[in-house]
Structure 1
């Protein structure tokens, strides 16, 4: 076959025959009274992983980088100024005396050296004019005599906020002191300076600076703008803490939830596994301080009304890195961690781990219903370990639903082995992942049409259309990737009796510190914005409905690519509304009519929300965060037929009352 002919045929297949003429109006039927599958409240959720500085330097609002001097290079992120002599600045290591946080800084202060230490923040510090900033630190000193001058400096080294602190008391015990001050100007990339005066020696640790406008005003909390974007989605669940950081580069750097709870100074920092993963984006200063730990994740889920879905290590490190394994006869501590986590989340205040939760400020259980065992693991070694976890958890907590990995890809030998064996095990939920080109998503809209209706349910746990290719720095969150995902999601929704959860991944990315693209929400130090992909996810999750109803083409089959159109329909029994989600992947406007059967009548008007733009390559950005956003209008309805002009390359959501 000639190359040109082959290319033409491929384009027709990829676009779902989208080059059919759109001049003739297409007519479809909605059977609004034929309730099919109920839709799980967890259908649309979010996946959080600490990648792209999503936690430290991102949603966790701490502004000081390397606040406890535990990075591989103890003074990374810090600069020292002044006429210091040898020994005036020392990093000491307590080793066995404090294994979680062994290092601290000793500063010898005298009138001659005029020492200052300056922290650069996470690619700078975002400072807002008029906002209060809360500084704190742990210290000890042999005798009083040192004064700290605190200064926020903008990009020109101008002071835009200042305070003072005089450590009090003396002795060998560590104390904590706090002071607050207001910023006088806004800066995108500020830094923080501590200038020492007086005479004496002071030891410092856990040097911290937080903005006061954290989510819910919690001291030491999260960035409110980033959490608000999540809350606005009304997600059914939040999966945490990942992702590949669950596995770690090796088992020593795996995520261990027990080390992420309790007092901050007792949480043991580790390197982030994305620190040096990609040669194209090395990030040697990327660590996990666990200020955002498992308690905070559960609290976040509680705040935004989402079911928590923690994922735990199953005794396997990342198989793309070391593939390190815990021997089966040494797996019990990993299994016990899972059992203890359930008690931490759900146990009463008299239980061992329920008491820990209560002491952290949440006596009421978090009502955990789901737990993931392993992340993207594969092979017989995973199945062997999974069976041990499953038996132990189900024996003690039979009502906990377990999420199991189907590997890294939606097909191939790894997937086939796991899919087969997990179904033999009668797994609760199978987690499928797909990072593919937009064309794959259009071709696979019907992926779940022929899945078994009984047996394990599906969690579409990680997916994102790749505008270029996987792990490419050129991937974009553009309109094309967004509407291809929207089309694929019509298939997920139509098969809600099989698919009970879905989440885009990754969630967050810092514009100056990313390792992976594309990502759903992008931030800098002062702003956060949603991509077109974010708005697709939000439109689905805020228009979830309670039951699937049939939406058929002229051949009485599901609407999958007719003239480039993909669609699904649900009803919300709580509000008595019909909700249509319609994707036009054609580059031409399409006139379509939807005849609604099974209702007495429809109102004369309905709400229509449309996500589109002038070009498939259009994206949002820090400078233009609203380039591609949904627009809401009202449309007129005559009788029981809804007539729509579907914009080219668009995703539309129609909500109409059923009278």
Structure 2
């Protein structure tokens, strides 16, 4: 590895030396001519519960099937016994009493000898950290005369105990019990054992284990390292909860926001739409507990400084699956859900849903400004339902911007039909999606140059370069894909008067539980890493500025000439000029930027470089920063900047105005 790296470095230095001997290509930046305002929402993030992103991912619950609501009610659980212990487990159906949490278990311990119990495997194991505190909770009831107590243990992959706690249920009525303990070792594939000791029986529900250290240390909260990566992007918006799970494979399993708030044990579990979507990556144990629900989404958006962007079902199941439709005359409950959500987010304490938000601990409004009607719908059925939703929302909340789908593809008959219709209706924002090869992204950096400046704004809602093919399990988060996305994003930013929002997709993926690749952030049960694509997104977000200014070569915008892609902006808040330049070729390029305008600049500029890697370079859990930004400084001579941009490299230059 050292020899290879030394060889590559030597080649890079030789290429730089050759480039420096060449005549620089000259670019002009008209820093005093604002071309477009850049919205604060320009670069955001899109969350969907795919690839174990919520349960098993950012939602820090470690117990799988904690309330026994999977179709196989004991999925994830195994009966255990030691030292002669005997017993049995029965699943109890209480649908008539609690339809939203219809199953509990009754555990009978037959003798006083040894121990009997159950183990839980977690989500591809449980990530346990030495010295970390863990909180075990269970809802239980114990008949009079039962002598059962619970001993909780964490086991490592070899079966050794690495944490333990004890609690004793005392009530004949359902009651929540809790015990906290500290882990004595680190383990990526731990499991939970709940031993029952003493003759008798006990009813159990909501068996749960959380690390005490979560994002903002909220009890039963989110995984801190994953949310931190979102915070570090400084995103302009958070789109949630999807994605195709908004639609569901059928309407029974669609996402219903009202069932995702309030008491955890009253949030009705459903099967995840990605459970059996791909034969090459089946996940029959993939369900949604909604522990990460709409209240948590709104609070997370607030935490990371992002505008919330909820997407709601419009009466259509996923058109790639059943395509089930709600008759138009039965659409009222769906529309009312949208109206009630706006009230939940923005209503005062004198409103029904605003009061509920306050009662849930958030009296301040969430300042919701936009809402998605449907996810990735197309066709006449979508148009008919969109009209009904839009009229109802605009009549009551005219300030809400509506995100409208133009289908799953960036071209074709379905796209063209929707695009024409929505432009004729003066729609607010159109949601375009692109999952294409890297070459498509390079070729389409000019996509928005000729869009109607007076038409609807564009939300590049889902995009990612596919190294092999759409939905291929062999797609990689490599540097070639990330660089092509950077080139494409210069076109988004250059056309910020048309494009107001953009987000890569999908966001998260568990290394042992993914269905779709590529993805922005990968993780296992203990660690996580950002991909090269993440760093591209982050650099654009952290360096977007407030206003686009022309960056030209020979009087034309730079969008692929000589393999170069570029954009420039000013930040009126920090009084800086920001240059983004991509060299997509395999040769170094010496460039010179001549800046016009009244402003003068400090002699030292800050440069961030991401690149000069092989096309197949990737990050990993063991090498998380193999492809990552490097900061340096450079000298500015008056209003002239000269720099050599290495092969396959993305550079950001920030110049402070005097």
SS at match of 2:567: strand
Aligned to 1:535: 535
Does structure 1 residue 78 correspond to structure 2 residue 80? no
Aligned to 2:524: 524
For 1:656 and 1:481, locate their aligned partners in 2 and report how far apart those are by CA, in whole Å: 28
Aligned to 2:214: 214
Aligned to 1:396: 396
Greater displacement, 352-361 / 265-274: 352-361
For 1:479 and 1:178, locate their aligned partners in 2 and report how far apart those are by CA, in whole Å: 47
Does structure 1 residue 64 correspond to structure 2 residue 79? no
Aligned to 1:470: 470
Q: Is the 8 A contact 2:86 2:116 kept in 1?
A: no
Aligned to 2:418: 418
SS at match of 1:355: helix
Q: Structure 1 residues 351, 605: closer, same or farther in 2, change over 3 A?
A: same
Q: Structure 1 residues 422, 198: closer, same or farther in 2, change over 3 A?
A: same
- Which of 152, 155, 164 matches 2:154? 152
For 2:599 and 2:567, locate their aligned partners in 1 and report how far apart those are by CA, in whole Å: 21
Aligned to 2:361: 361
Q: Is the 8 A contact 2:269 2:290 kept in 1?
A: yes
Q: How does 1:286-325 map to 2 (within 5 A)?
A: 286-325=286-325
Aligned to 2:237: 237
Aligned to 2:13: none
For 1:145 and 1:167, locate their aligned partners in 2 and report how far apart those are by CA, in whole Å: 9
Aligned length: 637
Structure 1: unaligned runs, 5 residues or longer = 1-19
Structure 2: unaligned runs, 5 residues or longer = 1-18
Q: How does 1:553-632 map to 2 (within 5 A)?
A: 553-554=553-554, 556-632=555-631
**Residue 558 of structure 1, CA deviation:** 0.2
Q: Is the 8 A contact 1:44 1:502 kept in 2?
A: yes
For 1:599 and 1:45, locate their aligned partners in 2 and report how far apart those are by CA, in whole Å: 33
Q: Is the 8 A contact 2:448 2:495 kept in 1?
A: yes
For 1:253 and 1:210, locate their aligned partners in 2 and report how far apart those are by CA, in whole Å: 27
Aligned to 1:187: 187
TM-score (norm 2): 0.95
- What does the per-residue CA deviation read over 1:519-570, in whole Å, with 9 as the maximum and x for residues that have no partner? 000000001110000000000111111101000002x010111211100000
- What does the per-residue CA deviation read over 1:301-334, in whole Å, with 9 as the maximum and x for residues that have no partner? 0100100000000000000100100000100000
For 1:104 and 1:23, locate their aligned partners in 2 and report how far apart those are by CA, in whole Å: 74
**Residue 86 of structure 1, CA deviation:** 10
**Residue 200 of structure 1, CA deviation:** 1.8
Does structure 1 residue 138 correspond to structure 2 residue 139? yes
**Residue 85 of structure 1, CA deviation:** 10
For 2:196 and 2:438, locate their aligned partners in 1 and report how far apart those are by CA, in whole Å: 57
For 1:525 and 1:23, locate their aligned partners in 2 and report how far apart those are by CA, in whole Å: 50
Aligned to 2:270: 270
For 2:486 and 2:613, locate their aligned partners in 1 and report how far apart those are by CA, in whole Å: 18
Q: How does 1:35-46 map to 2 (within 5 A)?
A: 35-46=34-45
**Residue 21 of structure 1, CA deviation:** 12
For 1:644 and 1:36, locate their aligned partners in 2 and report how far apart those are by CA, in whole Å: 25
**Residue 599 of structure 1, CA deviation:** 3.4
For 1:85 and 1:622, locate their aligned partners in 2 and report how far apart those are by CA, in whole Å: 41
Aligned to 2:120: 119
**Residue 213 of structure 1, CA deviation:** 1.1
For 1:336 and 1:108, locate their aligned partners in 2 and report how far apart those are by CA, in whole Å: 46
Q: Is the 8 A contact 2:20 2:644 kept in 1?
A: no
For 1:539 and 1:169, locate their aligned partners in 2 and report how far apart those are by CA, in whole Å: 56
For 1:183 and 1:114, locate their aligned partners in 2 and report how far apart those are by CA, in whole Å: 22
**Residue 614 of structure 1, CA deviation:** 2.9
Q: Is the 8 A contact 1:479 1:613 kept in 2?
A: no
Aligned to 2:104: 104
- Which of 143, 161, 165 matches 2:167? 165
Q: Structure 1 residues 194, 657: closer, same or farther in 2, change over 3 A?
A: same
For 2:224 and 2:417, locate their aligned partners in 1 and report how far apart those are by CA, in whole Å: 43
For 2:330 and 2:142, locate their aligned partners in 1 and report how far apart those are by CA, in whole Å: 44
SS at match of 2:107: strand
For 2:342 and 2:569, locate their aligned partners in 1 and report how far apart those are by CA, in whole Å: 34
TM-score (norm 1): 0.95
**Residue 42 of structure 1, CA deviation:** 0.2
